[in-house]
Amino acid sequence: MNNSLACILIDDELNNINLLRRMIQKFCPNVNIIGEETDPLKAQQLILDLQPDLVFLDIEMPNMNGFQLLKQLEPIQFEVIFVTAYTEYAIEAFDHHAIGYITKPVDTEKLISAVHHVANRIQHKMSNESIIHLLESRFANKQEIKIPLNTLNGMIFINEEDIMYCESSGSYTHFFLVDGRKIVVSKSIGEYEKILPETNFVRIHDKYIVNLKYIIEYIKGRGGEIILTNAVTLPVSVNRKEILMAHFDKWLKK
């Protein structure tokens, strides 16, 4: 990992920042600390001004907690590693797209591992930029848009409209096509969430992305369920229901 990661440290306790800074400088030479802040209200502007690659963020802070801070900065353009004394926030942290969750006192191996994941994630984002630019240019030229899928045997190019839905399976993604085929790809579903256009595709669950054109029914519930044209029923998670409903509202207003 030769590329430097521009980083900001945010914690209401200065001693915690000092300790984390020393550990990063000693064990994570690819991380360049460009800012530090103990006041979450000031931290918001600091992030906007410095545009870091990575933010180490405490959760329990006065005036504004870490989750509220991120809410103010949406859409999040940087990676987040939470550093907290509390274990009970882990699930909520990953709902806020955190790539790491480290409990205090900070363990050296967990710190190194979290930074390594951030570097890999940013590298994958950069490698996907050429694909994204290709798709954007084809869309601008009104050409048929194809999605490249990396399989064990090579690369398959499929029409965007032929994708009915995607299912996550750990670090793999299963693509279910209109013609009944299933293609397994060795990338996480999150990578394809960035590539597939949100005008046609929506993440309805941590495990599923669906092509809106193939939804034929929505069943009410806490999150609810959708039924596709091939009779497959998929769950809608509570925290993603609002996004799906927003897409339905756009349809009704057309």
pLDDT in tens, 139-167: 455 445 678 887 777 788 888 889 999 99
Q: Are residues 69 and 97 in the same domain?
A: yes
Domain boundary among 61, 90, 125: 125
Q: What percent of the chain has pLDDT over 90?
A: 43
Has residue 1 got a pLDDT over 50?
A: no
Assign 127 a pLDDT band (cuts: 50, 70, 90).
very low
In a domain, 62, yes or no: yes
Assign 118 a pLDDT band (cuts: 50, 70, 90).
confident
Q: Are residues 149 and 94 in the same domain?
A: no
Q: What is the predicted pLDDT for the residue at 144?
A: 55
Q: Are residues 190 and 89 in the same domain?
A: no
Q: What is the pLDDT of residues 169-225, one digit of tens each?
A: 988 899 999 999 999 998 889 888 888 888 889 999 999 999 998 999 999 888 899
Q: What is the predicted pLDDT for the residue at 236?
A: 94
For residues 90 and 98, the answer to whether their CB atoms sit within 8 Å is no
Domain boundary among 125, 157, 176: 125
Q: Are residues 20 and 99 in the same domain?
A: yes
Q: Are residues 224 and 185 in the same domain?
A: yes
CATH number at 243 reads: 2.40.50.1020
Domain boundary among 92, 125, 158: 125
Q: Are residues 20 and 109 in the same domain?
A: yes
Q: What is the predicted pLDDT for the residue at 142?
A: 45
Q: What is the 3-state secondary structure (H, E, C) of 107-136?
A: CHHHHHHHHHHHHHHHHHHHHHHHHHHHHH
Has residue 95 got a pLDDT over 90?
A: no
Shortest CA distance to 12 belongs to which of 86, 92, 66, 80?
66
Rounded Cα–Cα distance for residues 95 and 171 (Å): 17
In a domain, 241, yes or no: yes
Q: Are residues 44 and 105 in the same domain?
A: yes
In a domain, 133, yes or no: no
CB atoms within 10 A of CB 174: 15
163: exposed, middle or buried (C-beta count within 10 Å: 0-12, 13-18, 19+)?
buried
Token code pair at residue 104? 């205090």
Q: Are residues 116 and 155 in the same domain?
A: no
Rounded Cα–Cα distance for residues 41 and 220 (Å): 39
CATH number at 113 reads: 3.40.50.2300
In a domain, 139, yes or no: no
Q: What 3-state class would DSSP assign to 36? A: strand
Q: Are residues 86 and 151 in the same domain?
A: no
- Polymer length in residues for the chain: 254
Q: What is the predicted pLDDT for the residue at 54?
A: 93
**Residue 103 corresponds to which amino acid?**
T
In a domain, 130, yes or no: no
Shortest CA distance to 81 belongs to which of 46, 119, 48, 44?
119
Q: What is the pLDDT of residues 10-46, one digit of tens each?
A: 999 999 999 999 999 999 999 999 999 999 999 999 9
* Overall pTM surpassing 0.75 (yes/no): no
Domain enclosing residue 116, as ranges: 5-125
In a domain, 156, yes or no: yes
In a domain, 21, yes or no: yes
End-to-end Cα spacing for the chain? 48
CA 169 to chain centre: 16
User: Who has greater pLDDT, 126 or 202?
Assistant: 202
Calculate mean pLDDT across residues 86-110: 71
CA-based torsion, 152, 158, 162, 164: positive or negative: positive
**Residue 192 corresponds to which amino acid?**
Y
In a domain, 36, yes or no: yes
Q: Are residues 213 and 176 in the same domain?
A: yes
* Least trusted range by pLDDT, from 65-74, 90-99, 173-182: 90-99
Has residue 244 got a pLDDT over 70?
A: yes
Alpha helices in the chain (DSSP H): 14-27, 40-50, 66-72, 90-95, 108-140, 189-195, 238-253
Rounded Cα–Cα distance for residues 192 and 173 (Å): 9
Q: Are residues 204 and 151 in the same domain?
A: yes
Q: What is the pLDDT of residues 45-65, one digit of tens each?
A: 999 999 999 999 998 898 888
Question: What is the count of structural domains for the chain?
Answer: 2
Q: Are residues 94 and 192 in the same domain?
A: no
CB atoms within 10 A of CB 251: 9
